[in-house]
Structure 1
Amino acid sequence: MSVPPQQELPRPGGFPEIRYKRYLPKVGPSGLVLFSGITLMCSLGLYRTGQGNLERRELEREKVWSRIHLIPLLQAEADRDTYRREVAAKEREAEIMKDVKDWKAGESVYNSKRYTPKTYVVVP
């Protein structure tokens, strides 16, 4: 005598629901709030960077113009110093060569009428 197989069936009313989710309370700000905050911070940072670049550019322009306006003053100082040195060198040359006949102190050693500045600085 063979027993017919018995199939398992759900109980009357069905099986209870299987809990596969974790029901945790929401902690912290939502994604939209985080995204808005990051966007705001990035925008503020870019704005401040742009303002810093404008200020840096203005300071650089001011430095360049101050140098441009100082060039004539510095050139005049250099010219006065060069003249003072040439006069002192001419006086020393006249003192040293006073016993040489037909020697003219300060006369150019070049066969040209064109002015050629000295290429070295004579230190007294």
Structure 2
Amino acid sequence: MASTTAQNFKQDMPPEGGYRKVNFARVFPKPFASTRALVGTYLVSTGIGFYLYLLNDKEIDHYQIESRSALIALKPLLDAEADRDYLKQLRKNRDVENKLMKDVKGWKTGTYYGEPVYKTVPKEKIIHPSLNEYYAHADPKTLENRAYWHKNL
């Protein structure tokens, strides 16, 4: 039985003349385009882009000038409205504190049981409250929207 398997078995041998040689030398890739062609393409595309920019520059400049002028004209009005809203909220906070603490004996608004909270600040200087104090009597969603405005974008 061993002799029959040996007769059917064929040894795998190299091809006649042997295997070809292994090429291990570094072969550089064929260039996509010549250097002159690449530089020429760059210069032509830059020239066309600059020409198109000069064509549209006047329209862009007029639009930017108009936008800036509108912003400059409206800035004082918008600042005044923001200051007005700020002072309205501070007044509302004071009125709510007066209403809330009216039954507490000896309570004076802006103090902590008659003791001034800020002792070293001159009377002419306004003390800006923290966000929590500013929105103390507002809807909690308002404070959340203001404090985390970047998440609402």
TM-score normalised by the chain length of structure 1: 0.54
Letter in 2 for 1:119: S
Q: Supply the distance in 1 between the matched residues of 2:102 and 2:82 (Cα, whole angstroms).
A: 30
Deviation string, structure 1 residues 67-91 (Cα, Å, up to 9, x no partner): 1211111111111111211111111
* Corresponding residue to 1:62 among 62, 66, 72: 66
Does residue 54 of structure 2 align to residue 50 of structure 1?
yes
> Which residue does the alignment assign to 1:115?
126
Q: How does 1:1-124 map to 2 (within 5 A)?
A: 46=51, 49-107=53-111, 109-111=117-119, 112-113=121-122, 114-120=125-131, 121-122=134-135, 123=138
Which of the pair has more CA radius of gyration?
A: 1
Root mean square deviation of aligned Cα: 2.5
**Unaligned runs of at least 5 residues, structure 2:** 1-46, 140-153
**Unaligned runs of at least 5 residues, structure 1:** 1-41
Residues 84 and 97 (structure 1 numbering): CA distance in 2 closer, same or farther, change over 3 Å? same
Q: Supply the distance in 2 between the matched residues of 1:82 and 1:57 (Cα, whole angstroms).
A: 36
Structure richer in helix, relative to its length: 2
Letter in 1 for 2:117: V
